[in-house]
């Protein structure tokens, strides 16, 4: 029987799990990797012979039951446990499953994995600081009952204002809070934790994890830093994309790239304010605009009157989508205005692009603190209580990053981390390669 490793992902994290599968397959092609998800298979997996993809059906929700989006992330895999069990049994008849790696949101599959007596690992895509917060949360809950004060102190992390803690961790009566606690407890019982990061990016958080500071009541399982999970192949230049041809004509490190992920939707008022900030800054820019009606709306109607004409010599505005990895890899891009998602953060570091952090939802406000205070790869935009950012604030931060001494320090540090990221994943003795080999030695041990 061939040896196999099973990766079980939710659709939101499938890109990261795909990169992890490819990382394993490239270094250890003799072992089969099976990727489970309710989403369609990413095309790039078809090119790797040792990786197979199994699409699970989306389960029907119980009648007369509604879930918010976070609850649904956890509930969908839980409701799929019977199917997961069935397919796992099918694979077990043909392959020796050495390990199962669960997405954070697939936590309730842990009991299925235990019933098969297969070593089960968790893959956390939010970075080491996020893992510190997750694993320490049962301790916080024990001390506070979930009633937070003005700020939260977590080992390995800077002090985090309670308002910047993700919503699921702030409401102890919610189902999402229960899911979060259950996940933290199961991770401590798992065979190990795979983290989408590399050592040079988050040394303090990783030291806190490995020294058991975040799990004072139990011993932490082994930690494997195998990141960054980045699809470098998608960064290959594509001249068919018009914005890439425009970037070719711009000076090195001169363009500000604004892109906020699939859910980075802004009101028309905020878009107009962003446009004014860009225009006043005098910067070259490439901007992916998302608005609830952006697909149908005319950009002229969404943005200030005459904006596109006045800035056409130094800016490009795209409706909804931009090839982010490809753009960040381009030499003309010098600043990335980002929503602070972990994948976006890692892509920017990989290509050596300093950032302006503009968090929108989930763990992104917490990520901003790490990016600014610990990693020192970004400047923050200051928002009003309702999240609104003025044109003057955006202009100020763009000028600061482009022109100030602090901006130069951030650029220098990001350039150093770019080298460290490449060394971690590609050079013999790199931290991520060592972590992968350590993980594979553990899962293939007879």
Q: What angle (nearest 5°) sits at the alpha carbon of residue 344, between those of residues 120 and 426? A: 65
Nearest CA to 224 among 99, 69, 67?
99
Q: Phi and psi dihedrals of 324, rounded to 5?
A: -55, -50
Please identify which of the residues 13, 28, 330, 339 carries the catalytic annotation.
13
Q: Residue 46, Cα to own-chain centre: how many angstroms? A: 23
Q: Residue 348, Cα to own-chain centre: how many angstroms? A: 12
Q: What are the extents of the domains in the chain?
A: 2-231+424-444, 233-422
The reply to whether 141 belongs to the active site is no
What is the number of H-type helices and E-type strands within the chain?
A: 17, 15
Per-residue pLDDT at 234: 64
DSSP readout, 321-347? ---HHHHHTSTTEEEEEE---HHHHHH
Could you tell me the sign of the dihedral formed by the alpha carbons of 358, 290, 278, 377, in that order? positive
Per-residue pLDDT at 297: 63
387 vs 94: CA distance, rounded Å: 53
Per-residue pLDDT at 293: 63
Per-residue pLDDT at 427: 81
Please identify which of the residues 12, 103, 330, 339 carries the catalytic annotation.
103
Q: Which fold has domain 2-231+424-444?
A: Rossmann fold (3.40.50)
Q: Phi and psi dihedrals of 148, rounded to 5?
A: -85, 150
| Cβ atoms of 77 and 84 closer than 8 Å | yes
Per-residue pLDDT at 294: 53
Which residues are registered as beta bridge partners of 349?
Answer: none
pLDDT tens track for 95-107: 999 999 999 999 9
| Cβ atoms of 192 and 439 closer than 8 Å | yes
Q: Which residues of the chain have pLDDT under 50?
A: none
Query: Tokens 């490009």 identify what position?
Result: 316
Return the H-helix or E-strand segment holding 121: strand 120-124
* Average pLDDT of the chain, as a whole number: 94
Per-residue pLDDT at 258: 98
Q: What is the pTM of this model?
A: 0.95
84 vs 213: CA distance, rounded Å: 34
Per-residue pLDDT at 219: 86
pLDDT tens track for 256-303: 999 999 888 999 999 999 999 999 999 999 999 988 765 556 888 899
Name the CATH code of domain 233-422 (choices 3.30.70.60, 3.40.50.2300, 3.40.50.2000, 3.90.25.10). Answer: 3.40.50.2000
pLDDT tens track for 147-202: 899 999 999 999 999 999 998 899 999 999 999 999 999 999 999 999 999 999 99
The reply to whether 13 belongs to the active site is yes
Q: Phi and psi dihedrals of 151, rounded to 5?
A: -150, 165
């Amino acid at each position: 029987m061939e040896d196999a490793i099973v990766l079980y992902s939710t659709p939101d994290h499938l890109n990261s799990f795909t990169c992890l599968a490819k990382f394993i397959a490239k270094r250890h092609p003799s072992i089969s990797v099976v990727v489970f998800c309710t989403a369609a298979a990413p095309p790039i997996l078809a090119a790797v012979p040792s990786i197979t993809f199994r699409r699970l059906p989306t389960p029907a929700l119980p009648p007369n039951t509604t879930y918010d989006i976070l609850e649904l992330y956890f509930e969908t895999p839980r409701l799929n446990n019977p199917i997961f069990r069935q397919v796992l049994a099918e694979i077990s008849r043909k392959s020796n499953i050495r390990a199962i790696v669960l997405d954070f949101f697939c936590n309730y599959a842990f009991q299925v994995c235990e019933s098969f007596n297969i070593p089960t690992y968790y893959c956390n895509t939010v970075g080491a600081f996020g893992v510190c917060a997750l694993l320490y949360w049962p301790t916080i809950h024990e001390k506070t009952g979930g009633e937070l004060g003005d700020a939260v102190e977590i080992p390995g992390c800077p002090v985090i204002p309670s308002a910047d803690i993700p919503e699921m961790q702030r409401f102890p009566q919610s189902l999402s809070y229960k899911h979060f606690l259950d996940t933290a407890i199961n991770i401590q019982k798992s065979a190990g934790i795979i983290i989408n990061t590399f050592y040079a990016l988050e040394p303090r958080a990783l030291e806190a994890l490995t020294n058991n500071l975040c799990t004072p009541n139990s011993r932490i399982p082994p930690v494997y830093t195998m990141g960054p999970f980045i699809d470098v192949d998608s960064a290959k230049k594509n001249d068919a994309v018009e914005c890439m041809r425009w970037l070719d004509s711009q000076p090195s490190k001169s363009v500000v790239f604004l892109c906020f992920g699939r859910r980075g939707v802004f009101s028309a008022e905020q878009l107009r304010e962003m446009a004014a900030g860009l225009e006043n800054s005098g910067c070259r820019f490439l901007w992916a605009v998302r608005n609830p009606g952006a697909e149908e709306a005319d950009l002229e109607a969404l943005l200030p009157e005459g904006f596109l004409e006045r800035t056409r010599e130094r800016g490009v505005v795209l409706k909804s989508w931009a090839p982010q990895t490809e753009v960040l890899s381009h030499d003309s891009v010098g600043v990335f205005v980002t929503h602070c998602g972990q994948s976006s953060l890692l892509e920017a570091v990989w290509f050596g692009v300093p950032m302006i952090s503009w968090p929108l939802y989930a763990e992104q406000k917490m990520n901003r603190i790490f990016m600014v205070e610990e990693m020192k790869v970004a400047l923050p935009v200051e928002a009003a209580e309702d999240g609104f950012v003025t044109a003057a604030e955006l202009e100020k931060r763009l000028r600061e990053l482009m022109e100030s001494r602090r901006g130069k320090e951030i650029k220098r540090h990001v350039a150093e981390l770019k080298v460290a990221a490449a060394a971690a994943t590609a050079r013999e003795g790199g931290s991520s390669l060592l972590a992968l080999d350590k993980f594979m030695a553990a899962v293939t041990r007879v």
